A and B are shown apart, each in its own frame.
Chain A
């Protein structure tokens, strides 16, 4: 039997593919609750906002740090209160080590720099795990080809329309989710639950479903504390003198340009509170950091509105608490005349 390919063959194939795609999207978005979101870890999306930040002036705000600064601050609420939407340059799973150097040393920005401190990541420098991730997206910004920029310009219009485009459920991740039991010494990579949604401004909000689903929250807690995690974080935090000297110097460069600086320690609870308390004792890390830099600092435990916050998965705030946290932060900054 001969198959003479023509428009009809292609249309039929494409029609079937689209039906399959609709079913697939229905499954992941409606049944499994994956949000329709921009890719949280897109290097291109970060680079786009880093490019835009080059136009920022002395009245603007740039937020840097790890996922806690990224998820816990609502930049749209900030905009509605202050009339200025911050540039969100925090990035999950990374230290701000390289991005800070990029912003402070390679731009003229002299506005308010808000830096979130997540101890397990913040105190990593150079090419170590958390800092290495930051290096990757800074390098990406400078090495992007025109072809990559074109791809991003097209893909960013498709990405937020579909739930299944989340990289945590791409083909590679789906292979990792097959149910075959492992050998004793091998573990599957984490199967991330659908926790947050990010918009085109890189503003992140926890999803309503995740806020209510204790099973997903528990799964996320299990990911945070895999068997090797506490030991690794402890190793990352050595050479404290080097770390403090580095941040002191780099922050001073920003202040010397006429910039303003705020350092935050966002809320944690549960096992994170317990573990970080042991591995990164406040007096040894946070207090020393604050003393070494002439800047405004805000530790969540020091303020009545935030000290009892209890993130659903111990590390990131739900929408309600995120808004409270944002309002509190803005009020404190305004009290210090760091914000209008």
Chain B
């Protein structure tokens, strides 16, 4: 089910009514939230809910055993079971075709002709997100960093909580499960703040991502011709905005809906395009994934504790796997490799050059440089293959291509929005959405809210899927 549809608005209204008006116990209300979450998922594809159930039961069982078991070897086996089941599903459904294609290519290199059977594997919505979430639970239990969920209901709700089920934020168990222990009821301010945040998220998704950016992105990346630099840059900038508005919009919706239920989810985006440098970017972009990769991959690999060279290797490995997490294609690996390279170069430069940007203009210039370099990586992220990526990159650099495909209307809409987004992110580096809402004049907040509600009423998209659902 998609947040940006009339069906979801009706679904949410019914859930809220049952949650707040049904005179029943907290346990029953949690049961209602769990059933609603399963329904939310099943309305997309009912059979695939089995994967969620298996993942839930395996991780709940493994978690319980690891808590009771004192034999370290047996604890490790339970952890392995959990990881194998979760990663097994992920690898089969997400990377099955990719692995088979590469296997075929490798055989081809050694002169063996092999044609794999055609698999029509449907990628279960949100599998990358809920897999990482449940794995964090068992890994943390193994390392005795968290306490186990008190009841199966609490754990199942943690795995399945519908606001963040299919595209995050990837929430750690100690951030969410304890919130299920006591009855939750949003205050008036929380409820309407949640509604406001939901409105902002939906507005970002439907108005900016789908209506303004998506047509330009599709024209540029769907056009197999060599484009003029203006068109290539506009398409790439449009994608940088589209993916931000799409994904940050989804995260805001999740956070807003949870707040309306009286729960708190962590922020997932913190104005990333205002970042100065790539270390900062990854502290602001998809925060729940980057912190997951840091805690469960980079640090276990040794982090920065094993010397300079090993740190760079760990950084690169983390970013390569982070790229692969986004999609089963080599273009995503290159995207991760570019980010890893940027991070390594940034570290090297920081060691060699003692420079600290002072004043608004130098900071703005560095933020702009960071944003432009990020845009180069987005080309690989969005392109269908390497040839398309080279075509767009070559056009951006003016090496080849003269074909104009975008109308002036599209170019103006994209560039103005991108400029405002970049400046807005830079201006918001030290602020949060909630603090801005809370500290702005009431008339201004109401006016902005009204404009966004009006925008949502008139935008009438056909319920475009969120980009990150495919990851």
A170 to B457, alpha carbons, bound, how many Å?
11
Interface string of A172-190 (1 = CB under 8 A from B): 1001111011110111110
Q: How many residues of A contact B (CB 8 A)?
A: 47
Question: Is B463 an interface residue when CB atoms closer than 8 A count as contact?
Answer: yes
Nearest chain B CB to A171's CB is how many angstroms away? 4
Kindly list chain B residues whose C-beta atoms are within 8 Å of the C-beta of A183: 404, 408
Question: Is A4 an interface residue when CB atoms closer than 8 A count as contact?
Answer: yes
Kindly list chain B residues whose C-beta atoms are within 8 Å of the C-beta of A151: 5-7, 463
Question: Is B468 an interface residue when CB atoms closer than 8 A count as contact?
Answer: no
User: In the complex the two chains form, is A5's CB within 8 Å of B193's CB?
Assistant: yes
Kindly list chain B residues whose C-beta atoms are within 8 Å of the C-beta of A186: 404-408
Kindly list chain B residues whose C-beta atoms are within 8 Å of the C-beta of A177: 409
Question: Is B26 an interface residue when CB atoms closer than 8 A count as contact?
Answer: no
User: In the complex the two chains form, is A145's CB within 8 Å of B460's CB?
Assistant: no
Question: Is B189 an interface residue when CB atoms closer than 8 A count as contact?
Answer: yes
A6 to B46, alpha carbons, bound, how many Å?
38
Main secondary structure of the interface of A (DSSP, over half): helix
Which residues of B153-211 are within 8 A (CB) of A? 188-189, 192-193, 195-196, 206-207, 210-211
User: In the complex the two chains form, is A3's CB within 8 Å of B445's CB?
Assistant: yes
Interface centre among B46, B207, B215, B407 (most CB of A within 10 A): B407
Question: Is A155 an interface residue when CB atoms closer than 8 A count as contact?
Answer: yes
Kindly list chain B residues whose C-beta atoms are within 8 Å of the C-beta of A336: none
Q: Which of B406, B459, B463 is within 8 Å of A171, CB to CB?
A: B459
User: In the complex the two chains form, is B45's CB within 8 Å of A14's CB?
Assistant: no
Question: Is A215 an interface residue when CB atoms closer than 8 A count as contact?
Answer: no
Kindly list chain B residues whose C-beta atoms are within 8 Å of the C-beta of A15: 450
Nearest chain B CB to A17's CB is how many angstroms away? 4
Known contacts being A146-B43, A182-B407, is A1 close to B439, with CB within 8 Å? yes
User: In the complex the two chains form, is A147's CB within 8 Å of B44's CB?
Assistant: yes
Interface string of B415-441 (1 = CB under 8 A from A): 000000000000000000000011111
Contact residues on B (Cβ < 8 Å of other chain), bracket: 35 or more
Nearest chain B CB to A40's CB is how many angstroms away? 13
Query: Closest chain A residue to B449 by CB distance?
Result: A13
Known contacts being A178-B412, A182-B407, A188-B407, is A6 close to B188, with CB within 8 Å? yes
Query: Closest chain B residue to A178 by CB distance?
Result: B409
A4 to B441, alpha carbons, bound, how many Å?
10
Nearest chain B CB to A4's CB is how many angstroms away? 5
User: In the complex the two chains form, is A2's CB within 8 Å of B439's CB?
Assistant: yes
User: In the complex the two chains form, is A178's CB within 8 Å of B446's CB?
Assistant: no
Q: Which of B6, B206, B445, B457 is within 8 Å of A21, CB to CB?
A: B457
User: In the complex the two chains form, is B438's CB within 8 Å of A2's CB?
Assistant: yes
Kindly list chain B residues whose C-beta atoms are within 8 Å of the C-beta of A10: 192, 195-196, 449
Interface centre among A3, A16, A151, A165 (most CB of B within 10 A): A3
Nearest chain B CB to A35's CB is how many angstroms away? 15
Question: Is B372 an interface residue when CB atoms closer than 8 A count as contact?
Answer: no
User: In the complex the two chains form, is B407's CB within 8 Å of A187's CB?
Assistant: yes
Interface centre among A5, A14, A170, A187 (most CB of B within 10 A): A5
Interface string of A140-171 (1 = CB under 8 A from B): 00000111101101110010000011010011
Kindly list chain A residues whose C-beta atoms are within 8 Å of the C-beta of B441: 1, 3
A10 to B469, alpha carbons, bound, how many Å?
30
Query: Closest chain A residue to B194 by CB distance?
Result: A5
Nearest chain B CB to A155's CB is how many angstroms away? 5
Nearest chain A CB to B13's CB is how many angstroms away? 11
Kindly list chain B residues whose C-beta atoms are within 8 Å of the C-beta of A13: 446-447, 449-450, 453
Kindly list chain A residues whose C-beta atoms are within 8 Å of the C-beta of B192: 5-7, 9-10
Nearest chain A CB to B67's CB is how many angstroms away? 37
Kindly list chain A residues whose C-beta atoms are within 8 Å of the C-beta of B206: 171
6 A/B residue pairs, CB under 8 Å, sorted by A: A20-B451, A147-B2, A150-B11, A170-B211, A171-B455, A185-B403
Residues of A within 8 A of B (CB): 1-7, 9-10, 12-17, 20-21, 24, 145-148, 150-151, 153-155, 158, 164-165, 167, 170-172, 175-178, 180-183, 185-189
